[in-house]
Chain A
Amino acid sequence: MTIRMTINGREYETDAHPMMPLLDVLRESCRLTGTKYGCGEGECGACTVIMNDELVMSCMVPVMQAGGAEIETVEGLARVAENGEEILHPVQQAFLECGGAQCGICTPGMVMAGVHHLRHPDRAPGGLREALEGNLCRCTGYSAIFRAMEQAAKTGHPE
């Protein structure tokens, strides 16, 4: 069966097996390798994407359940200005300035969780610590990520 999805505003079609994890489809069929594998058990959050405005781990979604979905991945956050310069999303920019990314492998998932939290802070009444608890980072000890998120919350979001 052919499955259609909208990813970062673009239409995609895949003939992947219905049980193939969305993660593998994003990475292999769509060649969107920004979303990372880390554990395959919904624990590390490296594969986090936004699906129909909800934060999900793409390794936990059989692609048949993503049919017709609107998916946002890390590749869709930055935009290009008229002069051709890349303008990072405020969350990305704050991560860059505050040292929120080190080895970078948890970063795409962490950034998506951060972006979602700024859009829907009510989803995590416990604040940042709760909003990011599904995303493991082994490099930073999380402090720099908290600082980045606090900065991003101040600089606002262009959405």
Chain B
Amino acid sequence: MTVSPPEHHELRYVGRSVTRREGAHKLTGRSRYIDDMHVEGALTGRTIRTTIAAGRVRDIRFPEGFPWNEFTIVTAKDLPVNEVALITNEQPALVDSIVRHHQEAILLIAHEDPGLVQEAARAIEIVYEKDPGIFEMEQGRVLKDLAIRHGNTEQAFSGENIVFEGEYATGAQEHVYIEPNGFIAWWENETVVLHGSNQCPYYVHKAVKNAFALERDDQVRVVQETTGGGFGGKEEFPSMVAIHTALLSRKAGGKPVRLIYDRAEDMACSTKRHPSITRIRTACTREGVFKGIEVTFHIDGGAYLTLSPVVLSRGLLHSGGPYRWPAAKMDGLCWFTNSPPYGAFRGFGAPQSEFAIERHLDRLSQLLGICPIELRRKNFLQRGDVLPTSQIVEEDPELDHIVDRALELSDYRAKQQSSPCGSGHGMGLSVFYHGTGFTGSGEVYLSSVVALEAQSDGTVEIQVSSTEIGQGTETVFAQIAAEGLGINIEQIRFRKPETGAVPDSGPTVASRTCSIVGGLVEKAARQMREKLNGRDVAEAAAMDSLRAEARYEPPPGLVWNEETYQGCAYGAYSWGCNVAEIVLDSVTAELRVEKMWGIYDIGCVINPVLAVGQVEGGMAQGAGWATCEDVVLREGLMQNTRVTNYIIPTSADGPDMVVEFVEHHNPIGAFGSKGVGELPMDGPPAAIANAVAHATGQNIVSIPIRPEDILK
């Protein structure tokens, strides 16, 4: 790890590696995850799932030999409103009759004997009428389409310009958070209490309130327990688990019910990263100056819409890469298939489309006979350039500088020169960017609120629904609050997220927590500092209740038109460059990513150790997705639902990593910070693929890159 020393000498906490606040709890085993929660008398629940991908349920049979009258059993009929509320409400919580994908929930059972539940669940027989099903993109209906138009592409693709086309594909990716999904729920009269593993307590709240047709917000209480990884996998999916748990509990007369998935169930039924196919056509001069781009970005949405429209949107918006395109025609299409719905996963579409453009540019550079790095340099976005959505780049990304640092640290040129194409050793590079926060008007709609409350014991409590899922929310918010308030960080407390008890600061997604929600924490802290007016917290809190709230307001000029897809898609962008060094085994074609370098501009680095943790973790996930992570689906059923056969990197595989930050501060983020969580996912696949293309002389256009595809 190399971290450039932060230039915030005047600041006490921001820019310093304050140790993780809940770290000691996690390291001693005291942190309570959902499965660690002991609730006396809780029933164990289990979900019965479809074993076909398309068709109808004809009959459900309960064979003899089990005391079925002792079981709590629920079906779709027991749910007042059979919907999982998200963007639309089309996805049912339980299959009533029509089956749209494998491993869809049909029926739930619960019993006080966990062993009996497991046996009974396997004994239940479902009779189906099976339909053929659709398992490939571009064969069924379009769930959502989007278009971006900019400049005159017809002109760009005419005349002397060099036109070059390519098609690029990326596979699905499983999150493999090490803690599977789970909830525990019970009813207290007309109120349901839900504890669980999740990223977004208010999403769960909305879905549960809708499903049970509850009138008041306080009839649903969602408490986030320590969450063992999310990466997007616990953004929308937990709403489903929560509805199921609450339903079983209601049928059981309000008794507590535990519904905690095992690994195989979690992997088989939960969301994955959307597979993609990107077709790119570019026009440029013989010297490599970009004139126009046409992109068709296809993603597989699976059997329900869920969050696919926003994944499609972010993927499409990033599909041109950090380059100046005078003309652009970009179309995004999300396709229906009978696969389990694909969902949120770190990067949200951008890693898919940025892989495509970054591979395309290396291939184009070969055609032009120009060094791939020089080709990029000629076209990097600079201050004042216009993005395909007509957004004007207001900061200078200084991508030249970022790339220079990556080349220097990795000794790129010398290494590349000493390994000729096809030698089995290669260096590859990618340049990428990522918009901070929700797309377009998303942040305005969210209208997030945070609160700080002074306590009579002299502490100040942070109240947000933004969750700690490993990325360091509690710690960076404490740093920001202490800095803004001008008090000791030991005086800051973090309220465990619980709907009703904390304001809705929006979901914990979209690289928004540190920068955008953190910005609100900073604002609230400064307000409270004024109210304190030099008094000590305990003294002031004793006199009157001291509370500060901050609500999101869009910065002036941030205008977005959802109809035309024009305007400012994001309030800020983070930038980065990766270099990958790979070695291919000459006998087996096994691919080893030896080392990766990452230079990132995430604005102000609030906590270097945590920020490095985010980018290194993202690089490793990106490397895994590019090399070994392969979701094998047959007729919409995942075949490798174990960690023994869905392969993520071990400590023996992980590349050595070198990370450096450059800081271009963002005027709207907390202390100048920008998004960090997703950016590191965008670059590794293309950097690795470009390196493999060099090392093998083969035309790599899809990931994962399997030895099976190289050694023929």
B141 within 8 A of A: no
A111 within 8 A of B: yes
- Please choose the segment from B514-522, B527-535, B640-648 that sits at the chain A interface, where 4 or more of its residues have CB less than 8 A away: B640-648
Minimum CB distance partner of A93 in chain B: B27
Q: Mark B3-43, 1 if CB is under 8 A from A, else 0.
A: 00000000000000101101111111111110110100000
A101 touches B26 (CB 8 A): yes
Assign chain B's interface to a size class.
Answer: 35 or more
A136 touches B648 (CB 8 A): yes
B372 within 8 A of A: no
B651 touches A96 (CB 8 A): no
A44 and B179 CA atoms in complex are apart in Å by 11
Partner among A38, A92, A136 whose Cβ is within 8 Å of the Cβ of B28:
A92
**CB of B235, distance to nearest CB on chain A (Å):** 15
**CB of B494, distance to nearest CB on chain A (Å):** 15
Residues of A within 8 A of B23 (CB): 95-96, 101
A128 touches B262 (CB 8 A): no
Main secondary structure of the interface of B (DSSP, over half): loop
Residues of B within 8 A of A21 (CB): none
A102 touches B617 (CB 8 A): yes
Residues of B within 8 A of A137 (CB): 178, 651
B609 touches A99 (CB 8 A): yes
Instruction: Count chain B CB atoms within 10 A of each CB in A132, A138, A140 and give the residue with the most.
Output: A138
B179 touches A74 (CB 8 A): no
Q: Which of B178-216 contact A (CB under 8 A)?
A: 178-180
On whether A108 and B20 interact (CB within 8 A), knowing A36-B228, A141-B616, the answer reads: no
Q: Mark A75-110, 1 if CB is under 8 A from B, else 0.
A: 101100000001010001001111101111111100
B470 touches A102 (CB 8 A): yes
Instruction: Count chain A CB atoms within 10 A of each CB in B28, B33, B175, B651 and give the residue with the most.
Output: B651
B414 within 8 A of A: no
Partner among B28, B226, B609, B651 whose Cβ is within 8 Å of the Cβ of A98:
B609
A107 and B30 CA atoms in complex are apart in Å by 11
On whether A105 and B27 interact (CB within 8 A), knowing A38-B179, A130-B652, A139-B613, the answer reads: no
A105 touches B179 (CB 8 A): yes
A135 within 8 A of B: yes
B610 within 8 A of A: yes
B642 touches A133 (CB 8 A): no
**CB of B614, distance to nearest CB on chain A (Å):** 9
B29 touches A106 (CB 8 A): no
**CB of B35, distance to nearest CB on chain A (Å):** 6
A132 and B619 CA atoms in complex are apart in Å by 19
A40 within 8 A of B: yes
A65 within 8 A of B: no
Show the binding face of A for B, using Cβ within 8 Å.
27, 31-41, 43-44, 46, 73-75, 77-78, 86, 88, 92, 95-99, 101-108, 111, 126, 128-147
The 9 A-B pairs with the shortest beta carbon distances in the complex, nearest first, are: A34-B29, A141-B620, A105-B228, A103-B470, A104-B26, A102-B470, A33-B36, A132-B651, A74-B29
Other A-B pairs beyond A129-B652, A133-B651, 20, CB < 8 Å: A33-B33, A34-B30, A36-B178, A38-B178, A40-B263, A43-B643, A73-B29, A74-B27, A88-B28, A95-B27, A99-B17, A101-B23, A104-B226, A105-B179, A134-B650, A136-B648, A138-B176, A138-B648, A141-B618, A144-B616
A-B contact pairs, 29 of them (CB 8 A): A27-B35, A27-B36, A34-B29, A35-B29, A36-B178, A38-B179, A41-B643, A44-B178, A46-B178, A78-B28, A88-B28, A96-B19, A97-B609, A99-B612, A103-B26, A103-B178, A103-B227, A104-B226, A105-B228, A106-B178, A136-B650, A138-B178, A139-B617, A141-B618, A141-B621, A141-B654, A143-B616, A144-B612, A145-B651
